[in-house]
Amino acid sequence: MRYGQWWRDHRRAFWQVFHPGQVNEYHDAERGFAHELLANLLESPQDFEQHLRL
């Protein structure tokens, strides 16, 4: 199966953002979002679906 230039360009762009070394830089943001989600769930658990959408 041959891959075209479009596929190679998109794979390269994806790799630049999601390669293992880069993903480590997202940990602080992920932790912050997780803390915010948990605080919202503690405050109003009945709105859990809305909290997950935000």
Q: Quick one: pLDDT at residue 2?
A: 79
Q: What is the pTM of this model?
A: 0.61
Q: How far is CA 28 from CA 16, 21, 25, 35, 51, in A?
A: 19, 14, 7, 11, 20
Tokens 């009945």 belong to 46
Identify the pLDDT of residue 54: 62
In tens, the pLDDT along 7-54 reads 999 999 999 988 988 888 889 999 999 999 999 999 999 999 999 986
**Per-residue pLDDT, 9:** 95
- Per-domain residue ranges for the chain? 21-54
